[in-house]
Every structure is written in C-alpha cells, then in structure tokens.
Structure 1
Amino acid sequence: MEFSVKTGALAKQRTPCLVLGIFERRQLSAPAEAIDEASGGRLAEVLKRGDLGEDVGATLCLYDLPGVAAERVLLVGCGKRKEFDRARYVQACTAAARTVDALGAGAALSALPALAPNGLDHYRAAREAVAATAAAVYRYTRTKDDKKAPKHPLKRLHLWVAEKGEQAAVERGVQHGLAIAHGVAQARELGNLPGNICTPSYLAEQAQALGTEFPGLRVEVLEEADMEALGMGALLSVSRGSRQPAKFILMHHQGGKAGEKPVVLVGKGLTFDAGGISLKPAAEMDEMKYDMCGGASVFGAVRAAAELDLPINLIGVVPASENLPDGAANKPGDIVRSLSGQTIEILNTDAEGRLLLCDALTYCERFDPAVVIDMATLTGACVIALGKHPAGLFTGDDELAEEILTAGEASGDRAWRLPLWDDYQSQLDSNFADMANIGGRDGGAITAACFLSRYTKKYRWAHLDIAGIAWLGGKEKGATGRPVALLAEFLLRRAGALA
C-alpha cells in the first residue's frame, strides 16, 4: 500500500472516499464539523436518523454530499470521546480500512488521525493508522485464490492533518509505520505458509532475498556441516528426525558505528513441530507450522530496520529446523552436548525449541553483543499463564526489562514480566547430564526460560515467550506478526530515531 500526508481545507479534497470520525450520541469530531458546515448541515441531518450505530467501528457511507469534493464520505463510530484511546482508535482505523476496501474505492483520505486519540501524539496516531490499515487489508493468497477480494482494493491512503506544523511528525509516523507494517506483513506471510513450503531451506532463501532487496544487509547461512564442525549438538539433534536439513541464518545490518556493539535478535525457526518421538496430539497439530513465528518476527524486525536504514548495528539469528519422528530422531532419555559444552538429557522431545535456541545463544557470544533478545513460541504454559494478549518476558536485568516493557506499551504490542528466580533452576536437575530439557509441569514457561538463561551468562539477555500472541486460532486463524512492532519500537529507541 501507499501512504501519504495531505493538508488543506477538508471539504475541497478530491478523493474517492473521505473518512470521518463520529463520537457517541452523534457528536461530530472537528473534521466532521467542517464537512457538516460545508454541506449545509447534511451530516447532522443524516445522523439524526440513527443509521450509524453507537459501537466503535460502526460505519455509514454517504454519497454526493453538497459542498464536498469527495465522492463518498465514510462515517466511522468512535465511541465515547473521553474513552477514545489507542485500542478504540485502532479499531476505528481497522473498520474504516475494511469498509473502504470492500467498497472498491481504491483510495481514501482519512481524518481519523486528527481526532487526537487519548495518549497518542501526531506521530503515534499516524503510525498506528498506517499499521492498522495495512494489517486490515492483508490477504493470504499464496496457496488460495481470494474469491471475495474486491476488484479495486484499497491501495492508497492519505492521512489528513489540520495544521502544516503537524505535517513533519505525521510524515515521520507514516514512514516508520509503513516500515513496521512491511515487517509485520513479512512475519505473517512466513507464519501462514504451510510447512511443506516454508522449510528451513525456504527461510534461508528468504533471508538471501532480503539481502538482495537491501544491499546493506549481509546474510550468512550455516549448513549442517558447519554446525557439526562448531559443535552444535543440541540443535542438530532436533534436525536428525527430519529429511529437511537445518539452516542457521544470520542477517547483519551494519547501520551503526564501526566497532559499536550490536543488538542481537534470536528467533526460533521451527518450521513444523510434530513433537518428535513425544508426538503431539493430532487435534490442531496443523497450527504447529506457526512454531517458527519467533524466527519470522526476527525477519520482520530486520526488514523494518533495513528499510529505515536505522543507525544501529543489528544481527538477526534464526536457527531453523523441523521436529519430526524418525528412526534418527531424539529419543526420551538421550543425552546431547550443546555448543557451550554442557550436556542435556532430553526427557521430552517436544521441548525442542530450547535445544535450537541454546546453541544459537551460545553462538551469539562471538558478537560481543550490547544485548540479546530471543523470542520463541516456546511453551503452552505461557499461554495458560497470560492468555493471548501479552508476550511473556523473562530476564534478570531490571533495566532491560523496563526498556522492553516500555517499548511494548508504546507500540501497543505488550509484554508482561514473569519471574526468573534461581528457585526454579533445581527443577532442571538431571542424574545423567548437566541439565534436563524440561522441569515438569509446574512453572513450565519459567523453567524453559531458566534453561535458556544457562547459556546467556556472558551478555545482557531477555527472553520473550510468544506462544500466546504469535497466531490466532479458530475462524480468524492466522499469524499476527507479533512481536515485530515491539521489536521495531525497541530498535527505534535504541537507534535514537524517535524525537
């Protein structure tokens, strides 16, 4: 999609569709008041009939308003003015985008960002409008024709600003929002692809394609022979059960000063997880194609950083594999040696993500990183603990925790901190190895993070368990692209790119 900023008298703007916000009890927003005046009170007259519902996101399309240059005027319900916060604003932007898309107008001019949602400045309002609109019109078409797609889908959205002094902030919001939207879309697309297409090799190809698209992005792919030579015994033990070779993907964005310590993002790239010998139940196993959404979010965050050419050194690391039952697959009771030299007793082969991640986290030591953040659809226990709204955040670094939590709140892609106390470490004790790969049912998300913490002693580190937020099930089944927005916000702040 294309996004741009317009200013000037709203009634004189020529557009296939002008989007206006209406608050509860037929209260006109300031842009709507301007159109009402230009049309001789036509908006107020129409609203008295009660055709626009009171719910946030309700819509009503009007045609050929007198004194108004727009072909259509779309009224969008925004609820109570005092309650018009980020969530309701995003809901209104989403409803507007879907309605305009369905109308086949092709383009629109939205005055919703001018409504000053509670807690959002001009920059944030523009950025959220872009992100919400792009997400609303996203369609998965790789393996399915969208027969309901409009002939003239929404392809261009202009954001209207009342004052020219606001334009620079809005334009910056559009620029950042579009890059983040592109990153989210890439993460969603990779997540939605089936496991027979999105294999570890496919992920490696997509990384190379990203390097071609952004020449400043350097991409490396380690093969299984390279991993074997390094001693990545934990990661390779997972891929042995698959006919698809594992790939270790590295994406380097060198936007900062030479010698400046990089931020490293590590994402679990398990392109399909059947559980291995500890086979998962058949019900909803198809959703295990989403077990690579941690890796997909790294792709999305790296894309956003490269598109904005952020002045920061960033490395994206994606250990990619499948986890399938096979004669060569891990067996419960097997013991493997990780890249760190520590041995692991595999009590459950379905706890494989941490085996990929532990070798990846040890590998990160060579970068002398400023900070490492890993993200993974790691445990169902995190979903039970937090539901489908925030990611689970684990770190022993209070300053880093606050930095991530703040980025989550600012971007609307929230996380919630859970304990990472030494009290839980004993649950990983093993009679036969340095540690077991599971710690029992109690505190499963915490013991998984405790496992990873044993491989991160040499740098600042945080872990995001995204099992609850990476995809939706049921009728709305599909990848969400989270936590790309959180990561992008974190990177923007680190790079000093926010005013």
Structure 2
Amino acid sequence: MNVELKAAGLAAVAQHECDALLVLVADGFKPGKDKLSQCIAGITKAGDLPAKPGKTLSLYRPQGLVARRVVLAAVGDGSSQHMRSAVVAALGGLKSASPQQLTVAFGLPPSASALRAVVQAISDATYSYTTTKSKPEPRTVHTACFFAENAEDLRTEFDRARAIVTGVELAKEWANRPANHATPTDLAKAAKALAKGPGMQCEVLGPKEVAKLGMGAFMAVAQGSDQPLRFIVLKYTGAPKAQAPVVLVGKGITFDSGGISIKPAPEMDEMKYDMSGAASVLGVFAALAQLQPRLNVVGLIASTENLINGSAVKPGDVVTSMSGQTIEILNTDAEGRLVLCDALTYAERFKPTAVVDIATLTGACVIALGNVRSGLFCGSDALADALHAAGERAQDLCWRMPLDDDYAEGLKTHYADVANVGGRAGGAISAAKFLQRFATKFPWAHLDIAGTAWRGGAAKGATGRPVGLLVEYLLAQTAAQSAATVRAAK
C-alpha cells in the first residue's frame, strides 16, 4: 500500500479528489467554517453519529465535497485503540465499493501513536493475499493519503509507520505462501533480493557449509526432507563496523508435518506458517532498508522442512549440536528449538549486544497467552523491559514469562546432555529453557509467537507480527547508542 502525509485541514480535504474520504471525528471536535466541518457539526448535533468509538455514518456525494463517498467515524478520545476500531468499522462499510484511492482526515490533530495506529490498521484491513491465485482481486485500497494540520510534527512517526507497514506486509506475504511456493531456497532468494538495498548484505549457506560448521541439530531436522536446507545470514550495516550488532534469529520451518511424531491431519495446512519467525526477520530488514537507522543488525534464518522419509530423525536419536552439546530427540515435532539452538551458537561470532530469537515454537504458549500477546522469555531485565516497552509502543504486545531453573528439570536424560522436550506442563517455558542453554554468551530473549503469528478460522492468514515490536526495539537501541556516543564525546 502506498501512503503519503499532507499538512492540511478539513477545508482543503473537502476539495481533495478521491474514491472515498474517511473522516475521524474525536470527542471535542470544534467545527470551522468550511463545508466539511459544518456538515460534521450538523450530523453530530442531530445525533446521527453517536460518540461511541467505532460508530460510523456513510454519505454519498454530499453537497460541497469532491469525494464521491464519505464515511464519518467516531474515535472517542482519539487513542490508538479507539482509532483502530473506528478504521476497521469504516473500511468494513467501504469494502463493497472497493475504493483504490482513500483519503483520511483527522477532525482534531492526532497524536503520533494515533497516526501510526491508523496507518497500520488501514494496511491490515486492506491487505489481501494474491500470489497463487489465477485471477487475483485488486487490493481494496492501493493508495492512502493522510491529512493532518500537524503533519510536519508527525513526519518522523509517519515514516516509521510506513516502514513498519512495508515490513509487516512482506512478512505476511511469505508466511501466507503455500509451502511449495516458499521453500528454503525461495526464502534465500527473498533474502538476497532484500540485500540489494543500501547497507545490506546476504550470505546463504547450504548443506555442505552447514555440515562443516557442525550444525548437527539443524541437519537432523532437515534430513527428512528432499528440499535442501538453507542457513541465511542477512546483515544491515548502518553504523561503524566496529559497533556490535543486534542479532535476530528466525525459525524458518517452511512446513512442519511433525516428522515421525506426526501432527493430526485437521488444520495441518496451517503449518506453512511455521516459518513466521523467519518471515518477521525478512520484514524487519525491509523496514530497515527504508529507515536507514545508525545501527548494525544481523538476521539469521535456519530454514528447512520437517517431513518424513527413510532418513528422517527418529524419537530417541541423539545428535550433536554446533555448541558440542548432545541432544536426545524425544519428539520430532519439537524441531524448532533444534534449528534455533545451532543458530544461537552461530550468533556468538558477531559478539552481539543482544540476540532475540523469534519462533512459532509451542502450542503451550497459545494456551497460556492466547492470540493477544506473544510470549517473552528473557534472562536480562534490561532487555526484557526494552522489548516489552517496544511492543507497547507498536501495539504489538508481548508478556514476560518465567525462566526459573526448576522448569529445566524435565529436560534431563540418561542418554545425552539434554532432551529436546520436558513434558506437557509448562511446555513453553521448558522450550525456552532448552534454548537458554545455547545463549549464555550474550544477552538473549526468546519471542514465542505461536499464538500471534497467524489467525485461524474465516480470517485465516498471517499477521506479520512481531515486525512492529522488533523495529521499535531496534530504533530505541539506535537512540540509546547515539546518546551514549554523545556522552562519551563530552
């Protein structure tokens, strides 16, 4: 979706030509003398637009306005939440009209967070997957133009929102693709395409290179598939090379059958989303290409299918990870942690300031937190606080979960250094405890997005989360490092 921001009030909006005009009317709206303001004032005075957030009123070719269709939407106090619910309701009413050009006007100057919420809500509500359709329908809204009197004060926030939308939509695209259109090789090609942007580099390792590194856990998962594994290394260099990077690690299981511990058939098609962690890393790098922050970021994606053939790993097999630790694989459907643990060991070479892994890791996290907040597991209070705050700013929410050592008791085994599962109770936590064993040399956090990466049912599809959270976190690190540099120079 193409978006732009212009500085203008309702008088100018009334003369702006577009397929549809959405006016967000907050409590305390004070009308001017222009025709649009007077129209809104008359409607609200008559009670035809209730003040309740999300209530809307549609007008067709109203007198004195250029737009063919106008939707007035009540946004209450103008908070992000109220803005979002109003946009969703308004676009639902416009869906049948399929407006290609949408103008959005604010009855009162919006806050930065409210503007961001509107931009992201419009993107989410108008996105549609088309890649594998023979006759794809055009996107509901192709261009959105935002008018606000305080536009110049919001320019930085708008650019950030626009970049996040780009990243979220790319993450949705790759997570939504069927597994035969999103193989590990396809993901590697997508990463290489991103690397054509400024400050970007990409290296792709195949089976031979991965074997040479000793990634025995990653290779164990891949040996059941005919598709060759790919280990993708993306780099964004926006600061001096001597500055330590933040490393993002994405789980890239492009289809998860469960292996020999096979999943039940119902809804197994949704296991194409098991590479949503990898898709979110691609999305973050797409946003970085636009924003160009003064920061160094590395993205690691361990990508393979988890399938069944005569070579597939078996329950009870013991493999040696890149770290040298041996792992007894008691459940082949707990494969995400196996590819991630080798990627975490690989991350050590970058001497990172922090490592965040992102994975649709456990059904247990869905039971714990549902689909509202991603699970956050972190041994560092500072890193956990930074990620939580980033999620709040982006409205891409997470919740910190415990990491008590007692939760690792179930991972003990007689036959290896560690087992890959620890029983049903506290399954999301024991999975995080497994990963923590491989993340002792840097500040580390794990985001379990099994409940937030996609929606099921009639609205089935990828959400693009947690691209917003991650971009917000990285930009906050940019600001923190810039402040530290200034202090050091004094």
TM-score of the two chains, using structure 2 as the length reference: 0.92
Kindly indicate whether residue 254 of structure 2 is the aligned counterpart of residue 254 of structure 1: no
Does structure 1 retain, via aligned residues, the 8 Å contact 2:24–2:104?
no
Q: 1:239 aligns with which of 222, 229, 240?
A: 222
* Maintained 8 Å contact 2:9/2:147: no
Write the mapping of 1:69-468 to structure 2, written as runs, cut at 5 A. 69-78=66-75, 81-82=76-77, 84-100=78-94, 102-112=96-106, 114=108, 116=110, 121=111, 123-145=112-134, 149=138, 153-162=140-149, 166-212=150-196, 214-468=197-451
Task: Give a deviation string over 1:429-488, Cα, whole Å, max 9, x none.
Answer: 010100000011111000000000000111110001110000000000000000000001
Could you say what secondary structure the match of 1:318 adopts?
strand
* 1:54 CA displacement: 6.5
Give the deviation of 1:161 after TM superposition: 1.7
Segment of structure 1 superposing worse, 57-66 or 252-261: 57-66
Whether the 8 Å CA contact 1:405–1:416 is kept in 2: the answer is yes
Q: Which residue of the partner structure matches residue 11 of structure 1?
A: 11
Structure 1 CA distance for aligned equivalents of residues 439 and 57 of structure 2: 54
Q: Is the 1:93–1:112 contact (alpha carbons within 8 Å) kept by the matching residues of 2?
A: no
Instruction: Answer whether contact 2:245 2:296 (CA < 8 A) is retained.
Output: yes
Q: Distance in 2 between matches of 1:377 and 1:170?
A: 34
Instruction: Extract unaligned runs of 5+ from structure 2.
Output: 484-490
Residue 9 of structure 1, CA deviation? 4.2
Give the length in aligned residue pairs.
Answer: 479
CA 1:146 to 1:496, structure 2 compared with 1: closer, same or farther past 3 Å? farther
Answer whether contact 1:125 1:173 (CA < 8 A) is retained: no
Residue 56 of structure 2 is matched in structure 1 by 59
Given the superposition, is the C-alpha separation of residues 257 and 96 from structure 1 closer, same or farther in structure 2, using an over 3 Å criterion?
farther
Q: Which runs of 5+ in 1 are unaligned?
A: none
Superposed CA deviations along residues 216-258 of structure 1, whole A, max 9, x for unmatched, are: 2100000010011110000000000000011000100011122
Deviation track 1:126-183 (CA, whole Å, cap 9, x = no partner) reads 2222222122211101112567657xx4222222222xxx333322222111111010
- When structure 1 is superposed on structure 2, of 68-77 and 342-351 the one drifting more is 68-77
Percent identity between matched residues is 46
Measure, in 2, the Cα distance between the counterparts of 1:98 and 1:182.
22
The secondary structure found in structure 1 opposite 2:366 is helix
Displacement of 1:310 after TM fit?
Answer: 1.4
CA contact (8 A) 2:287 2:471 kept: yes
Q: 1: CA distance between counterparts of 2:152 and 2:107?
A: 14
Say what the alpha-carbon RMSD is for the aligned residues.
2.3
Alignment check: 8 A CA contact 1:12 1:69 kept: no
TM-score, length-normalised on structure 1?
0.90
2:198–2:289 contact (8 Å) kept in structure 1: no
SS of the aligned residue for 2:181 comes to: coil
- Seen in structure 2, the aligned counterparts of structure 1 residues 201 and 148 have a Cα distance that, compared at 3 Å, is closer
Task: Tell me: CA distance 1:320–1:40, structure 2 relative to 1, closer, same or farther (3 Å).
Answer: closer
**Cα shift readout 1:104-136 (whole Å, capped 9, x = no counterpart):** 4432331238454xxxx3x32222222221222
1:292-316, Cα deviation, whole Å (9 max, x unpaired): 0011101111111122111100001
Distance 2:375 2:290 in 1: 28
Tell me if the contact between 2:24 and 2:107 (Cα under 8 Å) persists in the aligned partners: no
Contact 1:113–1:159, Cα closer than 8 Å, also in 2 = no
Q: What amino acid is the match of 1:18?
A: L
1:68/1:34 CA distance change after superposition, 3 Å: farther
